[in-house]
A and B are shown apart, each in its own frame.
Chain A
Amino acid sequence: MARLTAFLAGLLFALGLGVSGMTQPAKVVGFLDFFGRWDPSLIAVLFGAVAVHAVFARRALGSGRPWYAPRFELTSLTRVDARLVAGSALFGVGWGISGLCPGPALVSSVAFVPTTLAFVAAMLGGIALFRVMRGDPASDQTVQASVEADTTEPC
């Protein structure tokens, strides 16, 4: 059952990305083009997603435990540090150059556009590079004991 819900969540997520316009790099770049031909419409994507998720996530997290898992796996990180800002800045530059962030890139990869495929391959390479450089697998992510324990789960 856990696999089915995760699959359905992925499916719904992809449809949301497609409907919202996030899978169209030209639209994303237009949104980031503050000093050119700015197209603010994608703000509505963030607004819609956060409005829905903020309400339901709070209720879910207050409910004790997930349906098909022993506990909620949230990050234990709370500190705003240089690593967070540097990583987000690098990501943002790549996002601005390509108009692609990880979700839309994976969703769009099924259309087999060469530029997108090159991006996805490089993205996976960048992820692997980080893992290799840090020399650790993702297995520390359930370590909740220490704030310094670097959970690999975002946010």
Chain B
Amino acid sequence: MTAPLVAPLVGGALIGLAATLLLVANGRVAGISGAVGGLFGARAGDREWRVSFLGGLLVGGVALALLRPSALRVEYAPPAALAVVAGLLVGFGTQLGNGCTSGHGVCGVSRRSTRSIVATITFILAGALAVLVSRRLGAPWLG
């Protein structure tokens, strides 16, 4: 194993453990887009785990900022207008497709869900296409 793969593997394993904890303890799938989307109009009993889970995610972000600031370094900055377009696509698309990298990519693929495998292949290919088109258009932020 080469060194560059150690951090992604360890990080991935932590993600897998986190998803396992949420499933074993709370009975919930650790899909971020689903956890956020379900907050809109959530009933009282359905809100707590979402708020706690997302709160933990943000506190984890603060912990990273303090302990490992390089993890949050942004060396990639498309224009703000493009970031807004991307955000809208990600927000709307994940709700339409019922999941994102975590819900489909990690949890669904782990359960060998056909829907999630199709979704994961689709968003990786669509992402690659977006990068390819950006390159062809000479996007300066790609470096």
Interface residues of A, Cβ cutoff 8 Å to B: 1-26, 29, 32-36, 41-54, 56-58, 60-61, 63, 65-75, 77-80, 83-103, 105-111, 113-116, 118-131, 136-139, 141-142, 150-155
Contact = CB atoms under 8 A, between A and B. Distances in A.
Interface string B86-110: 1111111111111111111111111
B115 A84 contact: yes
Interface size class of B (residues with CB under 8 A): 35 or more
A12 B60 CA distance: 7
Nearest to B105: A46
Contact of A111 (B37, B39, B65, B127): B65
A103 B53 CA distance: 11
B101 A103 contact: yes
A52 B17 contact: yes
Contacts, number: 556
B36 A122 contact: no
Nearest to A22: B11
B7 A110 contact: no
Given A97-B130, A102-B36, A103-B32, A50 B106 contact: yes
Given A9-B53, A92-B122, A139-B42, A83 B23 contact: no
Nearest to A56: B20
Nearest to A34: B128
